[in-house]
């Protein structure tokens, strides 16, 4: 049996270890909480969900969270950074919250979740466009391939358990989706796991839309949330946010944000 290897692609990612700060002061009165400077939230640098454009955080999830907190009157700011650093920042309590995260047992130790999903992530495998690899839903049949992942990212219980069990003999860890897609397009890896909108958007942005393809069927659809550290009581913030996000879904402004980035009739 081949020994399980884990390759860290740290050189490329080191240069991109940047965080961007954008103060979104949606309100300054009537907050009545313990955060006089406003909440500090972090999000993974992954277009089209959260990224920096013209010096300002942008993207689907940034817009959704911004509108929700505009409705609650809670001042906040967003920092966009690599996902592993996002988790480290919220775990340490240096920031208040993180979006978007799956509900996982190990994260319950340091995160308190909101109750309304901010996105449902469609998880899929991707291969080079000319690859003859197919997928019938059995992850084990892909075990002989070199798979690429993003460091610190959860891919749901099914894939996470397969990674932990050593189903893939070679796992290449990258710092971000751009590096992941580039390695796949250049055939430095045989397979990548990622979230459909994020991977396809990165491929378009970097000129690789014809060099990779998605395997069907998809692997999973996983609800993902805004969550807060457990070092403070955010119960009122969470209750207000849940009500605001629910109202956005009811009045279709939530759907409108998705359509702004992805076009109409895209599942989320």
Residue-range domain boundaries for the chain: 5-12+121-220, 16-119+224-262
Task: Please give the C-alpha separations between residue 163 and each of 127, 131, 166, in angstroms, as whole numbers.
Answer: 18, 22, 5
| Matching fold, domains 5-12+121-220 and 16-119+224-262 | yes
Residue range 16-119+224-262, CATH number:
3.40.190.10
Question: To 10 degrees, the CA torsion angle through 126, 131, 137, 143?
Answer: -90
Identify which has the larger pLDDT, 49 or 6.
49
Over the stretch 52-67, which tens digit does the pLDDT of each residue have?
Answer: 999 999 999 999 999 9
Would you say residue 266 has pLDDT above 90? no
> What residues have CB less than 8 Å from 161, skipping those under 6 apart?
none
d(CA 215, CA 137): 10
Over the stretch 187-229, which tens digit does the pLDDT of each residue have?
Answer: 999 999 999 989 998 999 889 999 999 999 999 999 999 999 9
Q: Average pLDDT over the chain, rounded to whole?
A: 87
pTM for the whole thing? Answer: 0.71
Over the stretch 145-172, which tens digit does the pLDDT of each residue have?
Answer: 999 999 988 898 899 999 999 999 899 9
Class of domain 5-12+121-220: alpha beta
User: Phi first, then psi: what are they for 5, rounded to 5°?
Assistant: -115, 145
């Amino acid at each position: 049996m081949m020994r399980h290897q884990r390759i860290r692609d740290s050189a490329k990612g080191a240069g991109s270890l940047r965080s961007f700060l954008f103060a979104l002061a949606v309100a300054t009165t009537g907050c009545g909480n313990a955060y006089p400077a406003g909440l500090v939230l972090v999000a993974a640098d992954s277009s089209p969900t959260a990224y920096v454009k013209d010096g300002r955080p942008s993207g689907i999830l940034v817009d959704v969270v911004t509108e929700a907190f505009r409705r609650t009157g809670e001042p906040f700011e967003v920092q966009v950074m690599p996902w592993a650093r996002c988790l480290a920042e919220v775990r340490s309590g240096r920031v208040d919250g993180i979006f978007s995260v799956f509900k996982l047992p190990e994260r319950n130790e340091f995160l308190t979740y909101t109750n309304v999903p901010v996105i449902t992530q469609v998880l899929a495998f991707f291969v080079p466009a000319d690859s003859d690899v197919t997928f019938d839903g059995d992850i084990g049949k892909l075990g002989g391939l070199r798979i690429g992942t993003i460091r610190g990212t959860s891919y749901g219980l099914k894939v996470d358990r397969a990674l932990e069990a050593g189903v893939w003999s070679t796992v290449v860890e990258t710092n971000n989706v751009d590096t992941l897609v580039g390695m796949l397009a250049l055939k430095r890896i045989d397979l990548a796991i990622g979230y459909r909108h994020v991977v396809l958007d990165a491929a378009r942005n970097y000129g690789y839309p014809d060099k990779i393809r998605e395997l069907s069927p998809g692997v999973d659809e996983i609800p993902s949330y805004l969550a807060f550290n457990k070092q403070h009581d955010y119960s009122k913030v969470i209750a207000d946010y849940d009500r605001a996000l629910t109202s956005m879904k009811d009045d279709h402004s939530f759907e409108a944000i998705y359509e702004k980035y992805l076009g109409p009739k895209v599942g989320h």
